Amino acid sequence: MKQEKVFTNALEITAISKKYQRGKIPANDKITTSFQPGQITAVIGHNGAGKTTLLNQIIGTVKPDSGDITYQGYSLLGNTKLARTLVSMMPQFHAPLTGVTLRQSIEAIVHIRCVTEKQVKARTNQILADLSLEQWADQSGDKLSGGVQRLTSFAMAVVCPPPIILLDEPTNDVDPVRRKLVWQYMRKLAQKGHIIVIVTHNLLEVEEYADRFLLFEQGRLIQDTPTGKLNSQFATHTLSAVLQDKDGLTTAPKALEINYLEEEARVVFTLTSEQIIEAINWLLKMMDQGKVINYKLSSASLDVSYGGMTNEQ
């Protein structure tokens, strides 16, 4: 009997590829993943790794060369109207706010996207308070500091939240107190069932606040890990080794996670403190046999482990 496909509220990305005209390598190379309601997913990786390209394809401003993006079984590709209803995005470079105040910028979105006339003021005041922005509310947008402009842009993306919210570096230039307010706001939205996807370079924040991270490298998705897995260990360590061939893996040491990147012949072990000795012994044996081309061992936080996970400098 033919099984019926069950559609969930997840945002499904299937084998998305995108190569820009003059790009040497694809900006996104067969990316497959899904984003769940209630979850905050951080997308991390070096400059130019392809993070923003992924967001732009979800909201529909960049068209993938191949692959599909669906929500509840509906493809968002070629259906920009649907994408704009289901998705809001805070772009990397904040919206110009010339000629309007911070409050007016938010009110304009509230008028267009959500509530009745009577509720506009209350909804706007609420988000101004939640992000501690009241003192600048009636200042002209172009006179606001970079950080406050970014917070305004964040407020505009989340004040009438659709099911899927994409945020490109929302905490850059923002002070530590308000950065925390931004993450708390994202958590509140996630708890209400929204899908939150955030691109960021702040790995300490990812470790503290996100549920999961996707690591991009040169257009490829090379790691998809729940941050809880890192936090639940007192310390995690990463051993990354480029091998002569895959044979050495038959004696691979125990690890929390083992990822093998076929094209680079590179194996990445995520290790607990207790697993390190066995891993080092394995590495020494492999080196003795001339089977390791190079290796890197890094420890503790995601910030530190990051270098071991990526191949780039």
What residue ranges bind ligand ATP (CB under 6 A)? 20, 23, 27, 45, 47-53, 92
- Beta-carbon neighbour count of residue 188 at 10 Å? 13
**Of 31 and 109, CB closest to ligand ATP:** 31
Distance, in Å, from the CA atom of 71 to the CA atom of 12, rounded to the nearest integer, reads 6
Q: How far is the CB of 17 from ligand ATP (least distance, A)?
A: 12
Distance, in Å, from the CA atom of 51 to the CA atom of 43, rounded to the nearest integer, reads 6
**Of 47 and 191, CB closest to ligand ATP:** 47
Distance, in Å, from the CA atom of 69 to the CA atom of 65, rounded to the nearest integer, reads 12
**Of 74 and 93, CB closest to ligand ATP:** 93
**Of 3 and 47, CB closest to ligand ATP:** 47
**Of 47 and 250, CB closest to ligand ATP:** 47
Cβ contacts of 68 within 8 Å, gap of 6 or more: 12, 13, 14, 15, 16, 75, 77
Residue located via tokens 């931004």: 182
Q: How far is the CB of 67 from ligand ATP (least distance, A)?
A: 15
Q: How far is the CB of 291 from ligand ATP (least distance, A)?
A: 33
Beta bridge partners of 115: none
Q: How far is the CB of 128 from ligand ATP (least distance, A)?
A: 28
Q: How far is the CB of 203 from ligand ATP (least distance, A)?
A: 13
Distance, in Å, from the CA atom of 101 to the CA atom of 139, rounded to the nearest integer, reads 5
Q: How far is the CB of 166 from ligand ATP (least distance, A)?
A: 12
**Of 220 and 266, CB closest to ligand ATP:** 220
Q: How far is the CB of 269 from ligand ATP (least distance, A)?
A: 25
**Of 92 and 139, CB closest to ligand ATP:** 92
